[in-house]
């Protein structure tokens, strides 16, 4: 049921940081901005400590539904998104079955329609993620996909990838590439170098990512079509993408907060929660990824939210790769704002506007007449990340036990409050 909501004295970020004002929401849309607006029948929120951002969009998440719902499902994934101020997601296709059929796309869209979160499935490039037979992209698009990818695996055959890029471009569907050469990886589980040597395990060489990043860019440039590079983690990939953009190649890319805020040192404890793919890398890589975020080489900040059951993460050597991140991504990324490296509008661009632009989705703006799709954040609120308080089924969060500054405290979609942080409310009384 749509609500009438009056948010008093809130700071609004829309293209710039606007002066504090009142915001009235009625019938699912933003009805009015002003000073000292009259009380309206409905809910009034004190926004004097809050900042209103357009709802964030995470274009790289794993909801594990269908088929792997012991890790996560669409409902718990949506709850985690809302708790992180994320109002829209693109969910990756490595489910069981994979998102390679119209029926699976429809299943996800129907189930997600009840969550209050915009869930856009990403279809497979190849059937069953096997790298062989290409999917029917036109049928998948008609059913509701927003992009195609074999994420979780690379497309090993360059010619298959080239054909997919061309067919997808003809249909106006973005292609997202998981850049990894499996023959180079050869069973590696952490970054090759200090991490692999200290832990006595096989390492994942950076050449794996750099090689396929370069391949995808060459293929896209040859066909003059777009390519989006997922989860950039190496200094080599950043430089390859930067050079390609300067040459006019239609390449966009993303990274995750852990790649510009953490290094392989975090995994030296042998805690599998810090294992992901691509892995945490060196300080040189971290600095290069950060510089790519700051100079615009890297277009989007995403999470690669990858939930796993606690028992699956218990054994470091055999655990699956992946970390969860939707509930902490904004707070972690705000480190760049607090340090004066990015402005709030620039962060909104990375976490809301660019993902929607790349996927060809409508922008959600904080303007009169626009749908009320809003994240209300206390930028100065200090909180300790507790895995047991996560809304996800999974607990593999790398910020566990750490204090983050800034937290979404209300998330509104279609003019309805979908999430409010009750612990925050109690602490702020």
DSSP 8-class letter at 392? S
Beta bridge mates, 417: 412
User: Is residue 386 annotated as part of the catalytic site, yes or no?
Assistant: no
CA distances from 140 to 99, 113, 124, 171 (A): 9, 18, 9, 11
Comparing CA positions, the residue from 27, 29, 14, 22 lying closest to residue 44 is 22
Beta bridge mates, 148: 123, 175
Comparing CA positions, the residue from 77, 59, 139 lying closest to residue 103 is 139
Strand 374-384, strand 403-413: pairing: antiparallel
Beta bridge mates, 90: 120
Q: Which of 100, 150, 304, 373 is catalytic?
A: 304
Largest CA distance in the chain: 66
In sequence order, the 6+-apart residues with CB closer than 8 A to the CB of 200 are none
DSSP conformation letters of 111-155: HHTTSSSEEEEEEPSBGGG-SSSBP-HHHHHHHT-SEEE-TTS--
Comparing CA positions, the residue from 254, 251, 270 lying closest to residue 195 is 270
Note whether 197 and 268 are within 8 A (CB). Answer: no
**Burial label, 44 (beta-carbon count in 10 A; 0-12, 13-18, 19+):** middle
Note whether 98 and 123 are within 8 A (CB). Answer: no
Backbone CA torsion sign across 293, 299, 306, 73: positive
Cα–Cα distance for residue pair 380/406, rounded to 1 Å: 5
Residue keyed to tokens 């195609």? 148
Cα–Cα distance for residue pair 387/328, rounded to 1 Å: 11
Please identify every residue annotated as catalytic. Answer: 304
């Amino acid at each position: 049921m749509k609500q009438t909501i009056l948010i008093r004295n809130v700071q609004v970020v829309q293209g710039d940081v606007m002066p504090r004002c009142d915001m009235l929401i009625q019938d699912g849309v933003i009805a009015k901005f002003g000073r000292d607006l009259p009380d309206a029948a409905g809910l009034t929120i004190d926004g004097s400590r809050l900042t209103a951002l357009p709802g964030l969009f995470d274009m790289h998440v794993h909801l594990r539904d269908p088929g792997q719902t012991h890790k996560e499902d669409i409902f718990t994934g949506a709850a985690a998104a809302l708790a992180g101020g994320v109002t829209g997601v693109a969910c990756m296709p490595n489910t069981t079955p994979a998102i390679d059929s119209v029926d699976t796309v429809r299943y996800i869209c129907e189930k997600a329609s009840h969550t209050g979160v915009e869930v856009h499935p990403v279809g497979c490039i190849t059937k069953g993620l096997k790298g062989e037979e290409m999917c029917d992209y036109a049928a998948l698009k008609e059913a509701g996909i927003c992009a195609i990818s074999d994420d979780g695996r690379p497309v090993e055959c360059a010619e298959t990838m080239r054909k997919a890029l061309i067919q997808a471009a003809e249909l106006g569907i973005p292609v997202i590439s998981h850049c990894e050469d499996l023959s180079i990886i050869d069973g590696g589980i952490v970054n090759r170098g200090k991490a692999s040597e200290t832990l006595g395990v096989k390492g994942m060489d950076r050449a794996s990512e750099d090689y396929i990043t370069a391949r995808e860019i060459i293929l896209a440039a040859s066909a003059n079509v777009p390519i989006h590079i997922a989860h950039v983690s190496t200094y080599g990939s950043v430089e390859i993408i930067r050079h390609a953009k300067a040459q006019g190649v239609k390449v966009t890319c993303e990274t995750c907060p852990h790649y510009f805020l953490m290094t392989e040192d975090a995994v030296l404890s042998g805690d599998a929660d810090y294992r992901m793919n691509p892995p945490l890398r060196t300080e040189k890589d971290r600095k290069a990824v950060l510089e790519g975020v700051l100079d615009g080489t890297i277009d989007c900040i995403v999470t690669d939210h990858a939930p796993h059951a606690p028992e699956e993460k218990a054994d470091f050597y055999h655990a699956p790769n992946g970390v969860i991140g939707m509930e902490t991504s904004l707070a972690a990324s705000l480190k760049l704002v607090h340090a004066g490296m990015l402005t709030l509008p620039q962060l909104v661009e990375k976490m809301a506007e660019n993902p929607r632009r790349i996927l060809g989705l409508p922008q959600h703006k904080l303007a009169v007449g626009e749908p009320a799709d809003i994240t209300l954040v206390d930028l100065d609120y200090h909180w300790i990340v507790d895995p047991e308080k996560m809304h996800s089924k999974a607990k593999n969060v790398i910020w566990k036990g750490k204090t983050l500054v800034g937290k979404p405290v209300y998330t509104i979609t279609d003019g309805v409050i979908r999430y409010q942080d009750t612990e925050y409310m109690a602490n702020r009384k």
